[in-house]
Structure 1
């Protein structure tokens, strides 16, 4: 999943950026509110981590502008503003969650997983279609109950498909979900990863819709 991190504090930003990448997220990091809005106009994200005290445009203004523009990407506010009134304003403006600094990355990651589950209409922590299962907490994957070992890139691509079983994702959409700005997109990487996943899981685990993209089946 591709995440937009909006944080002007360099030390916090570097720590969160690194932790997200270690958790197999693709991350784009911007440091002011106006750049965040400009970025959201041209790039799709699975989730936004949004600070409030930003240069050029306050984080609350960014959030309000996003929702006015009908951008419904999940947003978790990460801020030092701890007053009840601030929390209420943030949630009422359209935030999906509100997390106070200082925070532990384990909690940030858990809240991200919860928000993404709710967005996808999923109650439990495990993503499954009845045959293929993926646990975003442990990053364990199984096919017909048999555990499978995946690389970080393989896991990221499979996660993108499992979040919306039945939805067809194109090559460009899958590349967007597994690569950030500063990462070079390798030639034919999507085809290579899907071939590797089919070898490890099953030839039927990921279906190709010719000329359109790839999908995993809905729950059986």
Structure 2
């Protein structure tokens, strides 16, 4: 990045789940510039050396975590995921959304305590939408998250996976697990997973039937931005 201004401009142009800043020692300058620019993206500082005072300084300015570069990669990855999970409004490794339960650690999806038979990639996609249940995800964002560091397939593969997941979810009596915003992307349809009684009451109150979804391709987490130095946490 071309200095703090370049970092801020990049964050404004693209969506990232978390920013990873690698420094010799915790320094508040870049972080303060990010926060003064009203960029809400969570930030983790990874430093070669640190003192309690330096850690306190960056945390007070707006860092979400500060860890030593010598930290075990598994710990680092767990910390990154924990920050993203908390920012998304989840406080545990098990996400509960009405009848839906997503076990992040077990990589399993259940509806009414019954396992949904998803493939590895289908789980990755479904878990991403569940973790960001309030957000609309573009195909580009999903591709970056699912195939980071790999050769990305064509964007249509996301549409195909969405259709396959829909069919599997519909076997549990849920017709519209995803909301499609044409030309933008997909979002988890929380209302579809509401307990049966509450969903019926809500539908009667509105007096309007939800529009049917289609599997027509849309024409158009963890994304991690490491602005100061590359950081391999795989």
Unpaired segments of 5 or more residues in structure 1?
Answer: 1-29
1:151–1:61 CA distance, 2 compared to 1 (3 A) = farther
1:60/1:93 contact within 8 Å kept: yes
The aligned residue for residue 216 of structure 1 is: 188
CA 73–206 in structure 1, closer or farther in 2 if over 3 Å, else same: same
Alignment deviations for residues 81-100 of structure 1 (CA, whole Å, 9 cap, x no partner)? 22111101111121111112
Aligned pairs for 1:1-220 within 5 A? 36-37=7-8, 39-53=10-24, 60-180=28-148, 183-202=151-170, 204=175, 206-209=177-180, 211=182, 212-218=184-190, 220=194
1:104: how far off? 1.4
Give the C-alpha shift of residue 74 in structure 1: 1.2
> 1:62-114: CA deviations, max 9, x gaps?
32221122111111212122211110111112111111231112222222232
Q: 1:118 to 1:208 in 2, by over 3 A?
A: closer
Instruction: Give TM-score scaled by structure 2 length.
Output: 0.66
Structure 2: runs of 5 or more not aligned: 195-234
Q: CA deviation at 1:162?
A: 0.7
Q: 1:162-205: CA deviations, max 9, x gaps?
A: 12325443434434543447643414122111012223333636
Alignment coverage as a number of residue pairs: 188
3-state SS of 1:81 partner: coil
Name the stretch that deviates more: 105-114 or 199-208: 199-208
Looking at both structures, which has the greater relative contact order when contacts are Cα pairs under 8 Å and sequence separation is at least 6?
2
* Cα 1:35–1:139 shift into 2, 3 Å: farther
Whether contact under 8 Å (2:50, 2:68) holds in the other structure is yes
Aligned equivalents of 2:33, 2:57: Cα separation in 1? 14
